[in-house]
């Protein structure tokens, strides 16, 4: 059984009196077991990994590589070498763009990018298109914030080399039909890059079943620390890609006559990595895997339904692309600036996100400057939603 009281007690940051945190899509709070893992990594025999001959570094290396295997099993990757540590989803997407796409793309090639994407899954493709002469074409969205699949089918030709889409979008919580997108892209020989920063939080991900070529996510949205993320790629693709960053650990031999590089995953992990972050991400995954995830999602959606039912009665409030997946929803209130609403909510100890959410093209398509976004996590309660509804109602009355 999903026990919200037991869950909530595990999050020290949520013990602050009267604080209501409804911004988990930006970054999630951390359970004590994760905080303890970070502290332990530094207090109990801290050392660098894959370097040195002493027992401390051997222990650190073992924990670091065990964390990689935890991620491998969590997403059902075939090999642990398919798990590349990055600073987050953004760095992972840039790595794919520069190491996979840049050496392969040429003028006339097409990259399809969803109109609803986070900037992190747009800008790296714009940069590599400028570098190679390739062209970016957007997969347009409908007014209800779904990808236009008919338009996608029309865009999909043998000139398309890469399709970049989110699993679940960060503004509206739209769950994209990534299974269909992947299948159709593969039929024309394109590879698919999935931004899973939001999706990994709300679904069990099986990259083999998806047949995803690349799948990326950040640790900090998955109850782990900031500064750690994962790039999953099929081994054959990663093997064929050159290193992106140069430095220590990713080499076999360096000389002024030439350098040879190590194999996977080391060739993509130059320098001293975020050791504590990797270990803490592993801890977060183990903690999450022991929960009733179906019960957690049911709890989240119950709270979301409660909030939406109450907000539907407020004058001039419009939901933006309201979806049934995840705990994310966005809205605007006609005649009131979203920043004013967010400020008044903050003054009542309610934390939400207001702005364009790093999704300018989505906002442009809907002819809005931004939204108020509420993102509900498994640690939120009915009392949180009641306080949010009361605070928003008061803010609207004041404005």
Residue 334, exposed/middle/buried by CB under 10 A (0-12, 13-18, 19+)? Answer: exposed
Query: Which among 145, 358, 363, 396 is annotated as catalytic?
Result: 358
Phi, psi of 365 (to 5 degrees): -65, -30
Q: Are strands 258-261 and 317-320 parallel, antiparallel or unpaired?
A: unpaired
CB-based contacts of 206, cutoff 8 Å, min separation 6 = 75, 76
Please indicate whether residue 358 is annotated as part of the active site: yes
Query: Catalytic site residues?
Result: 358
């Amino acid at each position: 059984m999903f026990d919200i009281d037991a869950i909530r007690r595990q999050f020290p940051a949520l013990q602050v009196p009267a604080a209501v945190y409804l911004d988990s899509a930006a970054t999630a709070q951390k359970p004590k077991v994760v905080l303890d893992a970070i502290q332990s990594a530094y207090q109990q025999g801290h050392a660098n990994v894959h370097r040195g001959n002493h027992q401390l570094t051997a222990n650190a290396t073992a924990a670091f590589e065990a964390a990689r295997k935890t991620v491998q099993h969590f997403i059902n990757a075939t090999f642990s070498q398919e798990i590349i540590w990055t600073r987050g989803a953004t760095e992972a997407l840039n790595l794919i763009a520069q190491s996979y796409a840049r050496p392969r793309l040429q003028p006339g090639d097409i990259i399809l990018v969803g109109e609803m994407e986070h900037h992190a899954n747009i800008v790296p493709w714009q940069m590599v298109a400028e570098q190679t002469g390739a062209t970016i074409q957007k997969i347009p969205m409908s007014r209800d914030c779904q990808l236009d699949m008919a338009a996608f089918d029309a865009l999909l030709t043998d000139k398309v080399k890469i399709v970049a889409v989110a699993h679940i979008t960060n503004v509206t919580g739209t769950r994209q039909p990534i299974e269909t997108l992947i299948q159709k892209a593969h039929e024309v020989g394109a590879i698919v890059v999935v931004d899973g920063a939001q999706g990994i939080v709300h679904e069990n991900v099986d990259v083999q079943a998806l047949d995803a070529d690349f799948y990326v996510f950040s640790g900090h949205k998955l109850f782990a620390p900031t500064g750690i993320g994962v790039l999953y790629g099929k081994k054959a693709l990663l093997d064929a890609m050159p290193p992106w960053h140069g430095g220590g650990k990713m080499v076999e031999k360096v000389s002024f006559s030439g350098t040879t590089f190590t194999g996977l995953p080391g060739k993509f992990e130059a320098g001293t990595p975020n050791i504590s972050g990797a270990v803490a991400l592993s801890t977060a995954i183990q903690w999450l895997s022991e929960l009733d995830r179906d019960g957690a999602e049911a709890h989240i959606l119950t709270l979301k339904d409660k909030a939406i039912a109450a907000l539907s009665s407020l004058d001039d409030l419009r939901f933006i692309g309201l979806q049934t997946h995840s705990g994310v929803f966005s809205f605007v209130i006609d005649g009131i600036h979203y920043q004013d609403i967010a400020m008044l909510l903050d003054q009542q100890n309610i934390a939400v996100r207001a702005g364009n959410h790093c999704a300018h093209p989505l906002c442009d398509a809907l002819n809005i400057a931004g939204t108020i976004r509420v993102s509900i996590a498994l640690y939120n309660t009915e009392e949180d939603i009641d306080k949010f509804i009361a605070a928003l109602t008061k803010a609207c009355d004041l404005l």
